[in-house]
Amino acid sequence: MSHADVAETDQRLRIRAGVISLVAGAAICAAKFAAFAVTHSAAVLSDALESIVNVVAASFLIGSVFFAGIPADRNHPYGHGKIEFFSAVFEGGLVAFAAIATIVNAVDAFFHPRLEALEQGLLITGGAAAANLALGVFLLRVGRRAQSPAIVADGHHVLSDVWTSAGVLVGLGLVALTSIPWLDPMIAAGLGLYLAYTGFRLVRRAAGALLDEEDTKTVRDLLATLEEDRPPGIIRVHYLRAIRSGRRTHVDAHLVMPEFWTVDRAHAVADAMERRLHERLGDDVDVMFHSDPCRRAYCSGCDVADCPVRAAPFVRRPPLTIEEATHPDPPKDLSPTTAFQFEGSTAP
């Protein structure tokens, strides 16, 4: 299957997941408000308010996933994938708003309790929690398979709703057993704080991606592949950077190569390394390598056998480290000894 076919299949999965999330979320939300109508429970209302967030977020999810699937163009050379992170930030903000509304309602319910029909509320809320659990697991699986941060964020949010419902069930059960009405708003207030924490986590993750926070996992995978398959011509790696844009990861790095190599030879080695990385990491990784001449600064760590300009004998090739690989290029007048020190090794 070609890269275009895989991308099209993943896009259909994303949109289908968004539609399922919207339809299922609306049905679950209606069930929770029905539970509130019969119980007048502050905890049940907090659960229902979060479900409204789920429905609104699912609507935005469909739009963001569709927009993120538009191919890169002249105005957006890195594609449109970052729209999914905006969707995740928006969802986190909605969760925070639901948290505030929940806490305000809990304070009111503490002074004006009016609980009714707790058994019916327990049954309806339990059924809604089971439906949310199935929906959240489905969204996480699809989001990870299709590498969609918006769907993954929606899945985490839906699963957090399951914990909210579980708290409601515990609260209503305790009220039914003890006949202590203030337990209901206390549970609701605790759930409001949990929702605030969930919203903060969603915003934090998405904001990191929007600010091009380093994709550390991809960097480590890249280094592992480079270390395993690195030919003698790739002496060191510097200025390695990896950022996420929706499902795609953009990588660039400086490869230190023998200074006597022609441009064609260096380009061929870099292209071969890019192909290996695609085979290991998948087609959704865009790799761009820049070639730097060694300037005879790495002779003791370079195992190129036919080097005509070697300034020092080969000793050993130090392993690549994330500290060195992500560091800016060292000074161009580095001596063989100081190059070893820069790489975190000790010259003999």
- Residue 347: inside a domain: no
For position 5, what pLDDT does the model report?
58
For position 320, what pLDDT does the model report?
85
For position 6, what pLDDT does the model report?
57
Same domain, 230 and 185: no
- Residue 174: inside a domain: yes
Same domain, 12 and 151: yes
Same domain, 181 and 243: no
Q: What is the per-residue DSSP string for 88-153?
A: HHHHHHHHHHHHHHHHHHHHHHHHS-----HHHHHHHHHHHHHHHHHHHHHHHHHHHHTT-HHHHH
- Residue 128: inside a domain: yes
Query: What's the CA dihedral at 10, 13, 15, 18 to 10 degrees?
Result: -130
Same domain, 159 and 220: no
- Residue 14: inside a domain: yes
Q: What DSSP character marks residue 300?
A: G
Q: How far apart are CA 32 and CA 28, in angstroms?
A: 6
Same domain, 158 and 261: no
- Residue 348: inside a domain: no
Same domain, 106 and 235: no
Structure tokens at 149: 């941060």
Q: Residues 202-252: pLDDT tens digits?
A: 788 777 777 777 777 778 888 888 888 788 889 988 888 887 776 677 888
Same domain, 276 and 201: no
Beta bridge partners of 257: 293
Same domain, 47 and 95: yes
- Residue 198: inside a domain: yes
State whether residue 23 is helix, strand or coil. Answer: helix
Structure tokens at 217: 């996992």
Same domain, 68 and 198: yes
For position 76, what pLDDT does the model report?
75
> Model-level pTM?
0.58
Q: Residues 131-163: pLDDT tens digits?
A: 989 998 998 888 888 777 667 877 887 887 787
Contacts from 208-213 at CB under 8 Å and sequence distance 24+?
209/82, 209/85, 209/149, 209/244, 210/82, 210/85, 210/86, 210/89, 212/243, 213/243
How many domains, the chain? Answer: 2
Q: Residues 162-194: pLDDT tens digits?
A: 877 887 888 788 888 888 878 878 887 887 888
Structural domain including 7 reads: 3-210
Q: The domain that contains 276 carries what CATH number?
A: 3.30.70.1350
Q: What is the Cβ-side half-sphere exposure of residue 291, based on CA atoms within 13 angstroms?
A: 20
Q: What is the mean pLDDT of residues 43-72?
A: 77
Dihedral-angle region of residue 295 (phi above 0 means left; psi in -120 to 50 means alpha; beta otherwise): left
Same domain, 111 and 129: yes
Same domain, 190 and 261: no
